[in-house]
Each structure stands twice: as structure tokens, then as C-alpha cells.
Structure 1
Amino acid sequence: MGSKSVAFLLFLDLLFFSMATSNPLVPNFQPKCPDLRICANILLPPFIPDSNCCPLIEGLIDLQASVCLCSVLKLNIGGIITISLDILLNLQLNNCGRHKPPTYTCQ
């Protein structure tokens, strides 16, 4: 009888342990885009990337940096000028030593 109760208690311990460790206590952290207005200077001829933009995207991974920069470029262009935002985005990211993920397109 004693071995059955020990086995049952071990089963309960394993069950509760697995339930406790399957739900992480760390919240889902998604950094917000920093104020990247200075990065939109690339939209002005002669389309030279601004090195002051690099420290702003330093803490972001490449995909987050691409999405944030693309949204700033879209806002500042306002759909008035037809220019390839993807090329300008690549220029700015390459200037900062970053790379645009191959599957992401800024349109």
C-alpha cells in the first residue's frame, strides 16, 4: 500500500511541476519603435543615410529595425512621391551595419 501512495505522490509532483514550468513568468516583451524622425533625412536628395540614426536602432533586431524604419519613411513620404522605399531602407540599414531580412519588403 505504501508504494502505491508514494507513486501517486510522485505522479502529482511531476504533474504540478510540469504545469508550473510550462507557463513562463516573463512577460512577452516587444520593444516599441524609437523616435526615428532623424532617419527620414534619407528621403531628401542626395539620399545620403544619416549616421545619427544608427544609435536609435541599436537595440532592435534587424526585422524590428526594418519595420520601424519603413513605417517612418512611409509617414514622411505620405504617398506623394513614388520612390522605392525598399532601396532607401536598405541604404540606411547598410549604413548602420544592419541587414534587411530577405523576406521583408517595405512598400
Structure 2
Amino acid sequence: MASRAHATSALLVAINLLFFSLVSANHKACPPPPPPPCPPSPKPATCPKDTLKLGVCANVLEYLLKIKIGTPPKTPCCSLIEGLVDLEAAVCLCTAIKANVLGIKLDIPLSLSLLLNYCGKKVPEGFKCA
């Protein structure tokens, strides 16, 4: 009887080994998740506005530079750069000043800073009008 019990145990062990090897053979590991996409590289800032239109800012600069009594009108100049972030506004005004669209000889950093501040913007840190 002992040999029969021993044979039955051996058969059960063999069946269990076969069962577990089949189950583990069919198990496939999950593939690793895909890497996150790379963020797009920043493109150089450009002026989304027509630079020639910024010639209306000359009046504002004349008021600010000559310290005239009263305040210059904000509407024509500031409304052109109103929807732009500080960097875009700085690029637009820098382009206009360098192209002499404003029609007056200017100190670029001072003029740029005056115009941006007057229109509620600021010169981005490290920005150079080059």
C-alpha cells in the first residue's frame, strides 16, 4: 500500500509540475511603457505683428523722452502689442526701433524699456535687442 501511495504522490507531483510549467510558459511579461514624448524645442521669438504698424509708437516715445506735460495716448501703440507676451512685445518693438520704423534716432535699450513699461509690459530678463 505504501508503494501505491508513493506512486500516487509521485503522479500528483508530476501533474503539478506539468501544470505550473504550462501556466508559467503562457505568462508573458508586460512590455515596458513607452517613454514620454520629448517637449518641442522652443522656436526663436518672432514678432507676430506687422512691424510697420508700430510706427505709431513714435508719438508715445516723443512724449516719454521729452517729458512733455500730459500723457501720450496709449491706444494706437499699446493696443498693437496688447495680446502679446512680454518677449513677443519686446521683439516687435526692438525690430521696429532697429528698422527705424519709428522715424527717430533712439537709444535702443532705453526706448524699448520705456515703451514696454508704458504699455504694461516689461523687458524679459536677459533680453538684448540685437
Q: Which runs of 5+ in 2 are unaligned?
A: 1-24, 64-71
Equivalent pair of 2:86/2:123 in contact (CA under 8 Å): yes
1:47 Cα deviation from its structure 2 partner: 1.4
Report what 2:26 is aligned to. Answer: 2
**Structure 2 Cα separation of the partners of residues 97 and 40 of structure 1:** 18
TM-score of the pair, normalised by structure 2 = 0.54
1:23 Cα deviation from its structure 2 partner: 5.4
Runs of 4+ in structure 1 displaced over 2 angstroms?
Answer: 28-33, 36-46
Highest CA radius of gyration, 1 or 2? 2
Equivalent pair of 1:39/1:53 in contact (CA under 8 Å): yes
**Structure 2 Cα separation of the partners of residues 96 and 2 of structure 1:** 69
Give the aligned residue type for 1:59.
G
1:39 Cα deviation from its structure 2 partner: 3.0
Report what 2:125 is aligned to. Answer: 102
Identity %: 31
Q: Which runs of 5+ in 1 are unaligned?
A: none
User: Number of residues paired by the alignment?
Assistant: 94
1:2 Cα deviation from its structure 2 partner: 2.5
Which of residues 54, 62, 67 is equivalent to 2:86?
62
**Structure 1 Cα separation of the partners of residues 95 and 38 of structure 2:** 33
Which deviates the most, 33-42 or 54-63? 33-42
Listed one character per residue, the Cα deviations across residues 25-66 of structure 1 (whole Å, up to 9, x for unaligned) are x9x787642024343344469713652222221222211211
